[in-house]
Every structure is written in structure tokens, then in C-alpha cells.
A and B are shown apart, each in its own frame.
Chain A
């Protein structure tokens, strides 16, 4: 909830959302602030095509729920990530399918369009495949919690707000998801990334 990226003189999200209750156009600023970040997050989960729609639907749903926004929360990030998470859930089959493709083939349908050369990747093929296997096998709620924290950069407290669960639930889901990943990664030396780029699984 700390808004370190903004100067203190700038109005916080809560003030913007309150204004948007009377002046709908004010909501455009909420979009400008958060859409790029949310879009990257959704793209990482689903790929570019579904992400475009999910993000548009997220902000529209947020706009429609603005009356229910808790104005004591200065940052809208947990709220927006929560709505996006609900919408991502509708594409669960696509998400899992793409993870399975990555697991099986080492080729990632989600990130490939963004990568020209395979050596631009920061992680080895075998690591990617095993992470994909772990992510695909997680219960959806665990994957949501894990990725909100890991990719969304939300704190446990914020992830709990986003998912509408207790902070203890987030903690235990993330822990279990981490165990799962550790187990999958067990056989891989994650430091040998360069030499493994061309290894086929």
C-alpha cells in the first residue's frame, strides 16, 4: 500500500475513484496508472491475445464497481489485481494448456512472440519446463496467490485483499506452491542456465 512511485502531491487512487463516482471520465487516470502493469501481468499468465480483452474487461468491471471501492485503501492495485484474477480464471484451460505445452516441448507459446533469440531468456529451458509443470499442476487458488506475489509484486497483505481471503491463507498457499516448485526443480541445477539453453528435455 505504500505508493513510493508517486509524489506526495499527486492524488491517490482512492481520491480518483471517489471522483470517478461523480465524473466517470476521471477513471481514465486509474487506467493510465495501472493498465500497463496489469496488462504485463495478465500477458505473462495468458499470452498477449486474451490479455488485451481481460485488461479491458478488468477496468470496465472496476469502473462499474467503483461505488463499492473501500476508499480507505489508497492504492487500487490489490483491487485491480483481484478483478483481473477473477477474469483470468475464465481462461484457466488456456493458461494450463499453454503451461503444458511449455512443459512438454520447452517452447513457450506465451512468451515466444516477445523473444527473438532464445539466449535472451533469463532461465534455462529445463528450468522453464519444470516451473511450467509445477504451475500447471497447482490448484488455481494456489497459482493465483503465488503469481500475485511473484509476478504482481503484491505483498501477502495485498494478495489477501485481492483474493478476498485471510492473509494466513495466502501464506500457506504460497508456501505450498513454493514446495511444489522446489520439488519439480529438484533435479535441475538452476545456475547452469547458459549451457542448457539448447538442451532438449
Chain B
């Protein structure tokens, strides 16, 4: 028996897996969010949420915090992380505050317009090899109030990229800079009904804490992964979604009941606005997913992910890999006509 036969037997007990429908759906959902430029890496938490969220949840870089010197592994600035009860207080304040904010009342046929700034990691994998960078953009999304997200429109201004911590900035990163669109937001939408984030659907959600919590955990097996997934769903509703005040307050109260939520006293959104964040760590990804609120008004500002485990996240602890800032939400009677029909 030669060495190739021996090698062929090594680990041969590992079976060819059955295809899981979930894996295929995950791919299709990722494909749906694949409009350019493309956030690539490990957006697992986004995947199930599907369309339109890719760039929405992802966010912009915060100047003071991002680590560009990947060699040091120095977090630069270590935020103070508070235990869970403080997070509950923060979310409670956010909930209480919803009634004080001016509320939009979009009507059927109209569009909600989300203006945001984002930063996402991009993996570039081509004949020149493998490279990574942080793609930044300002984006405006028009989402029909009562229609399919397929009728959504995206206009994007790609901003100068940043290096991915520890990686050189590849030449192709700069080629993307410029404006594009208006384009269709997505080619198709594979999201389950209960993951929809259009206004008509969000308006139909429960306005009590228990009901909203049940919604967040729909179809999830109990466990830490479910908690993180529920947390993720909160983020997807906030990123490029607009909830009526009653649902928004219920969402914050329900979020406060998710085990493992903590507070980050000092955070910063993609546009550099400082705030307090509620956050959850994904031990699988080695990242902390933060939802950031204004310190005074407790209005939602944006989101970011911060590395807490350098090995898993493949970046130094403390680096910011994704960030968003929701700059403005407004109502429009129509959306721009997209390129190429």
C-alpha cells in the first residue's frame, strides 16, 4: 500500500454531507444582497435577514477607533463594557424616548428614504490573489412603504476605502470610488415573511414586550445562537427599517430581555457621532455587535462591529470592521428611475 493510498484513507470516515436547505437559502439570501459594492466576509448574521441589509447593517468606520496598524494588536482604545442591567436601562430609555421623537407617517404608495454611511469589509479574490479592504460608502435607499423590496432603489457614493487591519490596501479598492445608481436594490428577496422589514409589515408587529420578543425568536431553536440571531434581527429592523413609535418602543424593551446584552459606554457610529451602545458578543465570529444611541436623546444612531477575539475575527482586538450611521429618514412620493430598467 503506497503513501497515496494511506493518505486517501486519512480522515476518510468524514462523510459527504447531505445538502441542507438552510445552506442553500443562506447562499441565495447572500446573492440577493450582492449588489455592488459587495460586503463579503462572514456576514453570517446578516444572511438570514436577506436583502437590502447587507450595506445597511454594515457600517462606517469611526476615525478614532479603527486600528490601521495590524502589527501591534493594540486595541488603541478599550471601551468600558458594562453588564447586562445597564443595557436594559439604556434600551428602556431608548424605548421611553420614542414617543418624544417626531414621527413619520408614510402612506401606501410612498417611499421611505434612508440615508446612511457605511463601512464593510470586502474580500477580493481574483487571479491576482486574495486581498481585503474596508469599503466605505454613503448610500440612499428608497423602500416602498407597502410593496416588495424588489421595487427598492439604491443610490451609492463610494468613498475612499480604508485598509483592512493588518492588510495592505489593494489597488482595485480605489477603483470603486465614485457614484453609482440609481440601481435596483436587489434582484430577488428570499427572506422569510417574518423577517420582512418594510413599513407595512413592521407596523403590523406586536406593541407589547412579550409579543415582540416572541417575534424576535420566531423559528429559532433555544440557545446562545438563538439569542445572537434575535439580537441580529433587532439590528436589521433598525438599520434600514422604520417602525412606528409603538413597535419601536416594544422592540427596545424586547431587546433588553435578550440574554447576554451588554452596554458599551463610549461608541461611535460610521459618521463619527459618539454615543452609548448596547451590544452582544458573537463568540463564533469573535465580534461584538453594537447598536449605538445618542447620549442625550437616546435616538438610534447606527451600528458597528468590534473585534473581541483576534483569532476568530482575523483582525486585532478593538478594530472596527463594520459600521453604519443612519443619517436621515424621510418620506418621498416616488423613487428615482433605475438604470437599465
Contact = CB atoms under 8 A, between A and B. Distances in A.
Interface of A: 24-25, 27-28, 31-32, 35-37, 39-40, 43-44, 52-53, 55-57, 59-61, 63-65, 68, 83, 86-87, 89-90, 93, 108, 110-111, 114-115, 120-123, 127-128, 131-132, 146, 150-151, 164, 178, 181-182, 185, 190-191
B3 A37 contact: no
B42 A28 contact: no
Given A36-B19, A63-B34, A114-B15, A190 B10 contact: no
B261 to A, nearest CB: 25
B28 A28 contact: yes
B17 A40 contact: yes
Contacts of A93: 311
B4 interface: yes
Given A25-B188, A35-B19, A185-B6, A56 B13 contact: no
A128 B10 CA distance: 7
Most buried by B among A40, A89, A93: A40
Size category of the binding interface on chain B:
35 or more
B80 interface: no
Given A24-B32, A27-B31, A65-B126, A111 B14 contact: yes
Given A24-B187, A111-B14, A150-B7, A64 B19 contact: no
A122 B12 contact: yes
A83 B40 CA distance: 14
Contacts of B40: 57, 60-61, 64
B9 A122 contact: yes
A32 B19 contact: yes
Nearest to A110: B11
Contacts of B172: none
A88 to B, nearest CB: 11
B208 interface: no
A168 to B, nearest CB: 19
A97 B23 CA distance: 28
- Chain A, interface SS category: helix
Contacts of A57: 40-42, 123
Interface of B: 1, 3-4, 6-19, 23-24, 26-28, 30-32, 34, 38, 40-42, 44, 47, 123, 125-127, 129-130, 187-188, 311, 314
A19 B23 CA distance: 21
A61 B123 contact: yes
B6 A190 contact: yes
Q: Which residue among B7, B30, B40 has the maximum number of chain A CB atoms within 10 Å of its CB?
A: B7
Given A61-B40, A63-B31, A123-B10, A86 B15 contact: no
A150 B126 contact: no
B13 A121 contact: yes
A39 B10 contact: no
A44 B13 CA distance: 9
Nearest to B132: A90
A116 to B, nearest CB: 10
A60 B30 contact: yes
B16 A64 contact: no
A56 B26 contact: yes
23 contacts: A24-B32, A24-B188, A25-B188, A35-B19, A40-B17, A43-B14, A56-B47, A57-B123, A59-B27, A61-B125, A63-B27, A65-B126, A86-B129, A111-B11, A115-B13, A122-B12, A122-B13, A123-B10, A127-B6, A146-B7, A151-B8, A182-B3, A185-B3
B15 A40 contact: yes
Contacts of B187: 24
